[in-house]
Structure 1
């Protein structure tokens, strides 16, 4: 069984990781910040001490330089130096020595660096060899200050044998050397004064550092890695050489920062190289700062930080404990209320008298409990009502079932009595309905058809062509399309209409086929066509005679009155209209019978349009309508029958004029579209309605005139145009103008494509 924790315990446990993470992060960042601050302060203080030590290191040499520059340039000194008056010059050196007691070496040399006088002894005439510093000062005729390594022989000649310097290879003493050239007024070098402050065992600079910065700061001057002057006790400074890595960095002319342990203390040190006049490292100046004080400060800071963190954690836990108790008290009341509601007491109310979120939660809980109680009462009432409605619904379902069965019986009776054969399949193409008319057409009994694949049924009834049509209906591409097929089976002419059945989700659910036997209908239609053709042919001869007679009478009958002439004109117009009607009927009869002859030759669409416009010109003028020919000379020849194409154009122009309002324009245009020339006749009449567009190219279908609204003609004109265009392997179609009006377009093959 899992231990059950109270909300107070969970709150405290959830606060614990937050406190630990927060205080751990705070401790870590604070300690790191203190350490970084201490490190930066140590480096800053070391840099200040080193800068001061460096300034003090060169202080006495600057005093020597500026103290000797004036007497060295004095005329008496120059005269005595030119005469090499040793006694006078030595006496002058002694006076200068009294002024500069810290100058360990005071020597006057001639231009060849031969000693003329020394302050420490009477030796003279020897060569003063001390690196390049003397040569550079003489060449530049300017004072120079440099730290040089003075060899033992030169130290002995200068009388400095009491320095206690241990003899080492490449040994000697470090001396801050000042060279002041003595130059005559005419610019000629006549000698020089060389002064030096020997650093070995010199306590001046270490004393200055201790005096300014205290005993925690130590200064050391090293020569070739060995200490020669230090503020440390002699036993601490020792005779051990510097670390090789420090020496390597100093030899490169670079300072070194690091830590070192001297005696019982840890020091932060910085070494700066001391170079001679040739840039060679001959020693180092180092400052060491004791870390004990800083470490003590850091330990105290860490202790204070940890103490504060511990106290903060204790206080946080105490506050969290009290807060958790205050927060969980109303939650416990809510929990008890929920338990009582769970036990069925929906009238339970929780008493929490606060205005915070818990008070809002308690109010919401009380409202919820009241709503649940009310809803329980409503549900009980609705349940009783639902039971009554359910009983009523069952009665109505039973009634609807009886009605549905009756409706299905009526539908089955309708399907059974239909003349058309009806075949219905399911989604697997198995036959589920096969009415008696279909049985008669297929010549199959139901037990051989029902629940059989439709392909097998089509094969049994010699209707294999229907299998391909059904396959197209099932395909994704043709899913929502059907079609009508004409086929001839066993001497019968049939029309089959095939459509898909879709379920509620729009998926394929089967196929419904309607098959009609049109053998008798087509035979009747054929007989009707033959009858009309025969009658029309028989009527054409007498009508032609009547037309000729009427024209003769009107041309020769000058004695006719106006009324008589008007009556004869009416007879002539009606005779001509009847002849046109008979010609249209004969043309459509010949086309359907395949007896209409065509003479295909290269034709110019422009010329055909001119002929057609001339034929219809008088009719257009009578209606105040202009015909504009927009066909250009760039239109290629077409391959067709001259008279039949004129017949098509004339018919289209006649319709355009007939259905255009007076004062409008009819336009004829043509353009090449691939291997065809498209000829268009556009008018500005009323746009043909969608309901009438399906009648346009069918026989005996008429539309009303634009002005009178009266239907005229035989309704054969567009049907004849369609048959003629299709015999030319083209097509004819209708469009609407963008700005209003109607456009009839037909296509004829280009002549080059017929070769």
Structure 2
């Protein structure tokens, strides 16, 4: 900032200008006063001397002697002229033609001097005699007198050069004092303006720091006057701003954390329809929509048409609006509520909830009820039909009755297994698995499992092999539950593998745990069904599994048993290439059993 535009420059210039104006006025008035004073003193002295000469002339009979006495009374700078009856004029010997140049005619033409002659009154006047320069101004004083009936005037003339010399000498001192005063005033004004404006400059710097976000700025308090009080108020304002800004930042961070941790998407929309704030779930929704519409992600101020229409309805009606929309195979519920600024609507907030899982659970629940009904209806219908055959004596021979009774028995066992599976699954999902750990010889255990299914595999023409690569044959787990896992997985593999195929069981110790692979060369599982095969009653490709026994609960039970052991299970499959189920359970020491 330039000096002249700063507060210091303006204040310094104002003080200096004020002092200069005052000094100028005082100097002019003082010089005028001094000059007038000296002139008045000279006039007073001349008037007294003129009165004295008039008295001498009036009191002496010998007029020549009286005039000689009067000539002695005048100094070298004073000239005397005595005029009698307006006819006779006598001049002092030292008159250097200043008064003698003033003739009677000129006196008559001078209003003041002529008035003194006619009215016989005292007169005082500053005049420049004829043929004299302007620097030879003189003071002329006239006093009337009367002697023996003869009237006259005594005129005294004195040069004002001495007065002017005195005035010039005094003027030099006055200008010297004024110059010193100006210099001192300049330094004092600069010092005063700098000292007065120093706190203001600090406040300006503090305000600039506040504008940059440095709310801990503190202004030094140098005085106890109004500026000091202003500095105290400024510091208090800074503390209050710092407190409120920190509070706002905390609330903003808290709100941001809440929005970021929400499972639901949140979009804040301005009144013109532009997006102001989004959280990660909402951003994923918008990115999916941009991808579907082949839009650039930078065009982030656009909403899907359904959301725009819902936004307009919410703003126009000032009521909450809701729709359900599908995007990339996922179901979304969009709830739009108006936002208010005092009494008018300033925008809206949209809450997005991914309902895909809920809709899938609803579908699974419906499928569960349908599957349970179907699984129970089939054996009940068979029980009812064959029971009626016995009651109605349709089975005539003993062999037919035994066959019917065997079918009724098998179907009742199937219903029992279904009910037991449901009870076991419910118990496992509620955390009441009730595992009974024991030390098991892995070789003997897998051989038992192989013998259990060797007959079925041979009957179907499927090769059942095993590979046990373990250095420690003994493992700790619940033998019954783990046998149920192997039974379900191998049974599934055999049912979905055609004649000429193979089922391979591999076991190995990895990372303090037991890893089991059950691989078949069957028909495989579609990729889109893989994430759901461990759900209850879920059957991959219903047409492909139609006619094959199974309740749809086996894999759900397998997953719960493996997870109850602290392990995990995964599946890899390709259509017409086969499926591999891999599960891992951590080994336990005998002391932990």
Superposition TM-score, scaled by structure 2 size? 0.36
